[in-house]
Amino acid sequence: MAEIDYPAKLSIDYPDRKLNRLTSFFRIFMAIPILIILGLLIGTLTNWGDGGWNAQYGAIGIVFIPTVLMFLFRKKYPRWWFDWNLAFTRFNTRVSAYLLLLRDEYPSTDEEQSVHIDITYPNAQELSRGLPIVKWIMAIPHYIVLVCLGVAVWVVTIIAWFAILFTGRYPRGMFGFVVDVYRWSIRVLAYAFILVTDKYPPFSLSA
């Protein structure tokens, strides 16, 4: 099958070895510290009392709205904004891969490890000025499909959890399915929120 040419690519190395049964069994608890860090990067909201103080800290993991405005008024995409979006996406995906049992090494905040994401930095002058305003709406059909596939991913993850506990291995076919779904979601993310391309994401699980 021919490789899909899209400016967002994902691959995760299959762990062709025995996985750690103990950390797999307690995976949800093992992931709590790194999930807290991820949550702080995405943003928190704190309120105290009725009529008392409230504090807000906002940081939507992906720099989205400022990028939309920059496209609209200046038709530019600051490189450091893109670098942040790419780095955050890689970190988030490493955490997800760990949580979904695809890998058993603890997610690094900065090293690539075995999760490989490549998103092409765009030439802003070649992209539509106004399309970023509506891309997230145009991607709604993808959200619907991905929600359905996401349910399947969690079912597969539960089955894989039992398989790892009994055999120490993640079934390769199930592994490929989960990676394919996540690759699809990365393409949609690159189109609708990281805004690196005007090319509509394919409805495909192919690499």
User: What integer pLDDT is reported at residue 60 of this predicted model?
Assistant: 55
User: What integer pLDDT is reported at residue 40 of this predicted model?
Assistant: 86
Structure confidence by residue, pLDDT tens digits, 18-63: 999 999 999 999 999 999 999 888 874 434 444 444 444 333 578 8
User: What integer pLDDT is reported at residue 207 of this predicted model?
Assistant: 83
Instruction: Tell me what the mean pLDDT of segment 7-13 comes to.
Output: 96
137/132 Cα distance (integer angstroms): 10
Q: Is the CB of residue 14 less than 8 Å from the CB of residue 125?
A: no
5/161 Cα distance (integer angstroms): 33
Structure confidence by residue, pLDDT tens digits, 64-99: 888 999 999 999 999 999 999 999 999 999 999 999
Nearest to 97 by CA among 116, 110, 115, 79: 115
Domain boundaries, the chain: 8-192
Structure confidence by residue, pLDDT tens digits, 125-179: 999 999 999 999 999 999 999 999 999 999 999 999 999 999 999 999 999 999 9
